Chain A
Amino acid sequence: MSSLVYLIPLALLLGGAALGAFLWSLKSGQYDDMQGAAERILLDDE
């Protein structure tokens, strides 16, 4: 029981962080061009 006291908040925190990351990536337009993102990795920076 005592381990749960910190394990559960930790689990929720990690889950919440993942949710936050997803919402952030959605907002910053990272899903706008899925195909392009996959292809751009092949391009050299100039």
Chain B
Amino acid sequence: MSCCAPGAEAAAELGGPPSRDEILLASHDLADGLRQTDLSVPGVHCAGCIAAIEGAFRRVPGVEQARVNLSARRLSVKWRGEMPPPIFETVMTTGYAAHLFDNEDAAVDPELSRLLRATAVAGFASMNIMLLSVSIWSGAEPQTRQAFHWISAVLAFPALIYSGRVFFAAAWSALRQGRTSMEVPISVGVILAFALSLYDTAAGGAYAYFDAAVSLLFFLLIGRSLDHVMREKARSAVRSLIRLTPRGATVEREDGTREYLPAGQIKEGMLLAVAPGERLLVDGIVHGGRSDVDCSLVSGESAAQSVGPGSSLRAGTLNLNGALTLTATSDAGNSSLAEMVALMEAADGGRSRYRRIADRAARLYSPVVHLTALFTFLGWMLATGDWHGAISVAIAVLIITCPCALGLAVPIVHTVAARRLFEAGIMVKDGSALERLAEIDTVLFDKTGTLTTGRLSLANASQIEPSALAIAGAIAARSNHPVSRALAAFDDGLQMMPVAIAEHPGLGVECRIGRHLYRLGRAEWAVSGATAATMLSRDGHPLASFIFEDSLRQDAARSIEALKRDGFAVAIMSGDQERTVLRVGGQLGIGEVSARLLPAEKVARIAALAATGRKVMMVGDGLNDAPALSAAHVSMAPSSAGDIGRNAADLVFLRPSLLAIPDAIDIARQAARLVHQNFVLAIGYNAIAIPFAIAGQVTPLLAALAMSASSILVVANALRLRGIAGRDVASGWVADQMPKPLPPVVGRA
């Protein structure tokens, strides 16, 4: 691989590729036996990657076509046959990590193409009408002017119907609910302007507002489309990450046969077979087998636990090294996972109550616009008694006062900000999250997987003899246990050939190298009478003992320091043991820590803080954090978080560094400043233009000029966000964008 050797960490995080049954279940039927499977391949980023992956599939029998979508980091494979071809195996031979994708997510977005088509039609009509208008403004003969007005009318009418629908429908539904929104003055202005211009054209008048009406639609549709594109882009990128809940489970029937059933068909009381590397779909009690399990996503506990018959396990737990059979104690619909979802929905308060700046502005603004236009009309009516003149002036006021600048002011800034966040490896779900992020004053962290990497690393490597370390590494490379994965980094290649490897769940790994019997694992098992945590022994004699710790996430200390320096209150809320939480708090200088919190208690903490007027940001990754993520004013999750966590969070950061948090807050604050500037610009422009409009001095030419000028001003101001340099704290920003050394390749059993 050239530049594109992808990170192996994501692949290592999962036990292995999904089973063929699962791939079949997730694929969808195109026609005549042709099926399509969509995968997300986060590692692709250049032509070399495309060529490598598509080339590898060219040789696979059964595959009709494989195509990489580079923008969406997605691969769609079309294949024929009863069972899927070895799709995952093929991707893995190229060195990329792939994840299965939901088929319903693969559908194209109809709303976006509708907006784009509407924008294109409005753009076409407004450009041509403007062309005609320029010649009218530069003094066309009355006859020519009349002809041009008619052509303009013919162009404007279909554009109005087709492109204006977006606004008319929204305005109508707002009015029906007795509200008023930004769309109402836009719709009224555009329709009235068109109707009056048509009347004037028929009567042979000198002025027509076709150009203003259509270009207003055009500018506003640009704002709409940008807003939509940004939201969709973030959503699809978040979706394309690792998926942690399985689509189904293997059911063992009474006659001993096994069948893979989709999640919806798993019922309480069924006996499920859980292979090593699989995640539990439902809650259950272990029926047979022994294994070590990783509950970090469920409870926040970082150390693996060993389980045997009778142990009760919760959905979302990862089975590490032994095959288990499990009696389901819940359906997929009422497992502890599903309960978490219910808790999340109940907690989702702060967000639905939040009103976006643009909506708040519209609420204040549209009554003012309506009243100004109405009073202008009445005033001119009383003064002159000429209804036609009065309506013309009132329309000019409407058009001038609902400038595209206001429609563009927010979306353009958010688009630029989202772009900058994207470059820094942060996905934002929508503009409202950016606005809320700029308001926060308190940051709460989960521990496992957020402040720490959630993966163990060897703490005393320097004290261990290199030869013993190499042996331990070689043995560990054949195991799936988290402790082994930390040691496997020290596997130096092919010198050691362990044979007769046996993994004893809850105890460790046993194998032979040459004449010797080695044991790596729980100390009292490897060496009788020993007390240290993990040891390597040769024929029962100790070789080395290992101390592990959950290492801190990259740049954690710098990020916390930066947050504190900027005056944020920082605290840890964890579900893990008090001892480990206190240790991490001590390392990072966070005084306020709470341990052993249940999901509901985390929500209660946030609610209590919110009640005192705090705006809380929650950063977490586990399933146990999901309710807290949706309860907080704004929330952020690392990309390694579970599905639910990622869905609950407003922002997702893709890079390992925790500096993403101060960076995101920084960018959000700059964006908020620019949004305010844009509002000041747009409103200042109104303050100047309205008196002219009320006085009846605004000609179509002036309206068109003012409208375009203010829009360009707002867009130009938003683009400044690209240029504003990051603070000195974020100097790690530049380093972040440099290519990173590869993480040590982690072996798998």
Contact surface of A with B, Cβ cutoff 8 Å: 1, 4, 8, 11-12, 15-16, 18-19, 22-23, 26-27, 29, 31-36, 39-43, 46
Contact = CB atoms under 8 A, between A and B. Distances in A.
Given A11-B131, A40-B50, A43-B47, A33 B120 contact: no
Interface stretch (B68-76, B417-425, B611-619): B68-76
Nearest to A41: B47
Contacts of A43: 47, 50-51
A19 to B, nearest CB: 4
A39 B47 contact: yes
A11 B120 CA distance: 17
B69 A36 contact: yes
A12 B128 contact: yes
Interface in B649-681: none
Given A39-B47, A39-B50, A15 B143 contact: no
Contacts of A15: 124, 127-128
Contacts of B68: 36
23 contacts: A4-B144, A4-B147, A11-B128, A11-B131, A12-B151, A15-B127, A26-B116, A26-B120, A29-B108, A33-B72, A34-B71, A35-B70, A35-B71, A36-B50, A36-B69, A36-B70, A36-B71, A39-B47, A39-B50, A39-B70, A43-B50, A43-B51, A46-B55
B50 A19 contact: no
B237 to A, nearest CB: 12
B49 to A, nearest CB: 8
B121 interface: yes
**Which secondary structure dominates where chain B touches chain A?**
helix
A42 B47 contact: yes
B388 interface: no
B117 A23 contact: yes
A40 B117 CA distance: 26
A16 to B, nearest CB: 7
Contact of B71 (A12, A18, A32): A32
Contacts of B70: 33, 35-36, 39
Contacts of B46: 39
Contacts of A16: 124
A40 B120 CA distance: 27
A23 B344 CA distance: 42
Contacts of A42: 47
B113 interface: yes
A23 B46 CA distance: 28
A23 B123 CA distance: 12
B489 to A, nearest CB: 33
Nearest to A14: B128
B73 to A, nearest CB: 9
Nearest to B141: A1
A36 to B, nearest CB: 3
Sorted nearest first, the 9 A-B pairs with minimum C-beta distance are A36-B70, A39-B47, A42-B47, A19-B124, A35-B70, A33-B69, A35-B71, A33-B71, A22-B120
Contacts of A31: 116
Contacts of A8: 132, 151
Nearest to A8: B151
Interface in B28-81: 46-47, 50-51, 55, 58, 68-72
Nearest to A16: B124
Given A33-B69, A34-B71, A18 B144 contact: no
A46 B144 CA distance: 58
